[in-house]
Structure 1
Amino acid sequence: MKTVLIISHCEDYHVEKALHLLKQKKANYFFLTLDEFPKNYSLSQSINNNSASATLENTLTKQTIKLSEIGAVWLRKSANFSYLSNDMEESTNTFANNETEHALFSALYTLDCFWMSHPKFLRAAMWKGEQLKRATEFGFNIPDTLISNNPCEIRAFYMRHSKIVFKVMSDPIIYNDADQSLGVATTLVDSDMLENAESLRLIPNQFQAYIEKAYELRVTIIGNEVFTAKIDSQAHPETKIDCRNLNVRVPMSIYELPKKIEAACLKLIKSYSLNYSALDFIVTPKGEYVFLENNPCGQFHYIEENVPELKIIESLTNTLLRACI
């Protein structure tokens, strides 16, 4: 039996759940914590005209693995690298990050095994504007969307729809100098927000026509398995616009997607060559399904906590282990 390689950061509770199951199954695994790499790891890759090999060692636990022993990779989350020296100048740190990324992925890209999912496919699937265009090609309805830093275009979009939202396209978490996090929520836009032209010109932002909701869906896909949770976001005033408010317990339940929608979800994900993804939908009061976005490394722990009937982590670990046989 080959080994499962898990790549994330050391405080990822999704990985904690997976490791618990892998230990129960007495499976072979190696957990690479990027926020401790290369500080607590040793990496060696050898390439010549006749062969190529690589080994990875956790210098604290002394666990060592040859990359040829890996049967499946779960590329769960990225993280900032760390070094034995923590007082490098900014330019030196940037150089070190670039070199470290090249060294690590030069080795990992040689792996001919099952990936959940491969970094080149993850990157191709992350662009929000492209996702929306592709979703329409698979028959999904989407919100009218504008991505722009042109104040005139943004104001005209607001006038056309009268009710629009601002949505982050990348990571919605911002860290300050004290390493404190601030979440950027989906926000209802009013006319006052559009008065400052310099602010609108600063960076291109995503704006969407507001879609009335009956409820929302989180569709998690692992291989050919589809796990759908209904999120009753309209049950609480603080989650009507953005259901990701961790201070409010949003009612969730298991949900059966119409076969046509489920099939389209699978086709969309397979078009990106992904083995895992999480899709977000609005269901309108008229029963229409509206695609919002595709999250190739999307969170699922909060879904399984609220809807334990959805055995997402069990399916995920079983999928990884099957690839190692």
Structure 2
Amino acid sequence: MRQVLILSRPQDGHVSPVLEEIKARGARAYCLHTADFPEKATFTSILSQAAGGWIGSLISDDQTIPLQELTSIWRRRPKRYVASNAYAPGIKAFIEEAERALLGVLESQTLQGTFWVSQTHAVRRADLKALQLAMARHLGFQVPRTLMTNSPQEAEAFYHQCHGNIILKAVSRGAIENEEQQMSHFLYTSQVERAHFAHIEGVRVTAHLFQERIEKTCDVRIVVIGRQVFAARMHSLQGGQACLDFRQQYANLTYEVHTLPEVIREKVLELVRSFDLQFASMDCLITSQDEYVFLDLNPNGQFLWLQYRLGSRLPLKEAMADLLVYPEEYRL
């Protein structure tokens, strides 16, 4: 029987729907909330010469997971373990770092044929925004004029070079975590106004990503699952900020399934392949001249909200289950 392990966190709305699809294909599915290890999960593994790698089991929530028998592992937004503050800071950091033992054993299962969506090193590399933009341009995508800097003077010069039409985007995660209150403050793409330069010295604090704002007719969210490519076209019902960052106004969008031109589809697959990924969500915009402009790529992005809007016309959870259960057929 084929067996799939999902590495995730509580309240991730993608896990259960895909897990049910995996079971519907006759495979066994397990889910590990990675922050539970080592307090609520136990693993034992032996380096076996006969097996050519690590063999053993992982026990969590009454699941006994045979590591060496896994067909696939889905790295679905795992969360790191945080040790108790009762430990001294150095000990706390040591305990948290030791969780890498489990990750190493799981990653090593590729040597015994286990398939990953996607491997940790690939996800971390693809998360580098500057590398994404450079790779997209290298492969022939149109990319907005972009500046990364912590220099107030360079930021202001870029503003004038673009005739005052620039936006500010998050360099990485786009969220500020408050662990004590268990909440996140999201940073959305925003227009840079002349009045903001009264606080321009704040740019020195860290790197900032500025881009020339490109006028668009719509946004396109592209989802790559193995060798399958899906796309949805989104139009804003309002102007202003909702048009600048659609994540702020999901309810004020209209959705339709979109067919990418073959040349764009091939570039999308080439970009995902260049990062050694098996999954990615990608945002582009379309200009009034029907040009596709690359914005960013998320190697672990959200996708089921599109299926909830478009139903069976965009079978994303089914595609993910197919990839995990039958990787030899669907992998990129």
Shorter-chain-normalised TM-score: which range?
over 0.9
Do the aligned residues in 2 keep the contact of 1:151 with 1:197 (CA within 8 Å)?
A: yes
Show the counterpart of 1:141: 142
Show the counterpart of 1:231: 234
| Structure 2 residue 21 is matched with structure 1 residue 21 | yes
CA distance in 1, matches of 2:200, 2:233: 39
Extract unaligned runs of 5+ from structure 1.
Answer: none
**Aligned AA for 1:142?**
V
**Aligned AA for 1:92?**
I
SS at 2:215 equivalent: coil
Extract unaligned runs of 5+ from structure 2.
Answer: none
For residues 281-314 of structure 1, the C-alpha deviation after alignment (integer angstroms, 9 at most, x for no partner) is 0111221110001111111011111122100110
Show the counterpart of 1:107: 105
Q: Percent identity?
A: 29
How many Å apart are 1:148 and its aligned residue? 0.4
Do the aligned residues in 2 keep the contact of 1:3 with 1:324 (CA within 8 Å)?
A: no
Out of 318, 322, 325, the residue aligned to residue 326 of structure 2 is 322
Q: Please, which moves more after superposition, 70-79 or 45-54?
A: 45-54
Show the counterpart of 1:271: 274
Superposition map of 1:1-325 within 5 A: 1-47=1-47, 52-61=53-62, 63-82=63-82, 85=84, 87-100=86-99, 102-112=100-110, 113-161=114-162, 162-176=164-178, 177-233=180-236, 235-245=238-248, 248-308=251-311, 309-323=313-327
CA distance in 2, matches of 1:276, 1:169: 21
SS at 1:140 equivalent: coil
Number of paired residues?
322
Do the aligned residues in 2 keep the contact of 1:222 with 1:315 (CA within 8 Å)?
A: yes
Do the aligned residues in 2 keep the contact of 1:238 with 1:248 (CA within 8 Å)?
A: no
CA distance in 2, matches of 1:134, 1:286: 23
Q: Please, which moves more after superposition, 297-306 or 39-48?
A: 39-48
**Aligned AA for 2:210?**
F
Return closer, same or farther for 1:250/1:41 CA change in 2, 3 Å cut-off.
Answer: same
Q: Please, which moves more after superposition, 153-162 or 193-202?
A: 193-202
CA distance in 2, matches of 1:143, 1:44: 49
CA distance in 2, matches of 1:282, 1:35: 36
CA distance in 2, matches of 1:59, 1:299: 26
CA distance in 1, matches of 2:200, 2:240: 31
SS at 1:185 equivalent: coil
CA distance in 2, matches of 1:252, 1:320: 27
SS at 2:280 equivalent: strand
How many Å apart are 1:251 and its aligned residue? 1.0
Q: Please, which moves more after superposition, 186-195 or 307-316?
A: 186-195
Report the TM-score, using the length of structure 1 for normalisation.
Answer: 0.93
How many Å apart are 1:215 and its aligned residue? 0.3
How many Å apart are 1:92 and its aligned residue? 3.0
